Amino acid sequence: MRVTLKRRQIRRWLVLSGSFLLYAPILVKAGEVKRLTLSEAVHLALDQNRALKIAHYKVRENEAKKAEERSAYFPQLTNQSNALHITELQDIVVPTGGFGIAAGTPIPPANTIIREGQNSLYSSGTMLAQPLSQLLRVHQANLAAAAEVAGSEDELKKVENDIAVEVHTLYYAILAATLEKRAAEQQVTFATESLRESEEGVQKGSALEVAAISGRADLLQSQQAVLTVNLQLADLNTELNHLLGLPLETQLQLDPAVSTEFHTLSIEEYEKLAVEQSPEVRTAEQTVRKAKAGVAAEKTTYIPDITAYARHSYQDGVPFFVHNFGTFGIHLEYDIFDFGKRRAVIHEREAQLSQAEENLERLKEEVAVAVERSYNKVERTRNMVDVARQIVKLRQESERLATEQAARGELLPAALRQATAASYKAQAELLQASLAYSLAYAELERSVGRTPGLQP
């Protein structure tokens, strides 16, 4: 009697603990439920992801820099004004008779002091200056700025591709974990049924106590597997919400209908597309253009800076000058000797150009390797999907036969539960294989410069 009571208490504790483990996530405050397809998730991430917004702002920044460099082509209108106070002025002293003597009277008749200007001096000049020889340098600066804009746009494309692949990864991981949870719940049901049969066998004397202990351990392990999957799902849901720019507590309901029908090209066609469209390669090409412009710009420093200008000036307080007058001319400035500074800077720019060209070739080789690796992964995962489909068919047939045998009383319910759990597990493995195939194709699309989930 004591043994039976003890077993009942243990069984009740297992059921209660299992219920807590299975439904623990429900105790968390539920957020908004949002239904998403894979394509909708990709578009949502591209619209709301903060890293992508930062990349967009970087493009705007470089476009503003390019507009700044372009303005150097045109004349500049500047004004310079001054207000001065002079403590001492130079006087002109004309001595007595300095201009001679007329009719016995000296001119001037006494020492005369003539004041030069005023102690307070005001001047203002407005000048229009047009650079001439500097336009060669300005042109190279504009080429470099254009390369910066194009490079930031390529970087934006790279961020888009990376985010799209990350959306695919999390989306598929959630789908796979959801099916794993169903399989684990089936295993809990199977373990519960096995424990019940073992305990009944112990009571009838047809089974040993060790069978019941083993059944309890199997049940706890199954419940632990459910809890682990629930925690994994919660983490994946939070990560995907963050990636999509949604509130972290949003509950996502994902569409499991993920297409695995893809039109693939040959490896040679993919490698050609990668060289032409890969954001990494295109960014490296823009870096080479920028470096070339830097070399050409530094070489123009050997040319004198020649500027044409016209200026209107106003002054008040300077002697012998009218209040308003104009000047125009050409200004030339040239560093005659700088102890090799210009030559050293040119060598520095040439070294940067060599680095950029070498980096471009390196990236082309790495992109080719990435394309081949992704292409091979697509082929392998496609074969895995075919094998997994065959396993699902066999497991479903086994489950069908087990159901018929259980209906005729030829099979224990626990065995039927086991066959059902095996069928769920096979379906989960098929989904995982299908998702791995889809993810491999998404990575292949990224390696050739396309955004996964946006192509038809």
Domains annotated for the chain, with CATH where assigned, are 34-183+226-447 (1.20.1600.10)
pLDDT the model gives residue 77: 94
**315-355 pLDDT, tens digit each:** 887 777 788 989 999 999 998 888 989 999 999 999 999 99
Give the Cα separation of 366 and 372 in Å (integer): 10
Residue with tokens 């039976």: 4
The Cα 267–Cα 286 span in angstroms is: 26
Query: For residues 308 and 300, what is the distance between their CA atoms, to the nearest angstrom?
Result: 18
The pLDDT assigned to 300 comes to: 92
What does the alpha-carbon distance between residue 411 and residue 250 come to, in Å, rounded to a whole number?
A: 44
pTM above 0.85, yes or no: no
- Mean pLDDT within 178-190: 77
Each residue of 109-148: pLDDT tens digit? 787 777 777 778 888 999 999 999 999 999 999 999 999 9
Give the C-alpha separation, 447 to 420, whole Å.
Answer: 40
| pLDDT score, position 19 | 39
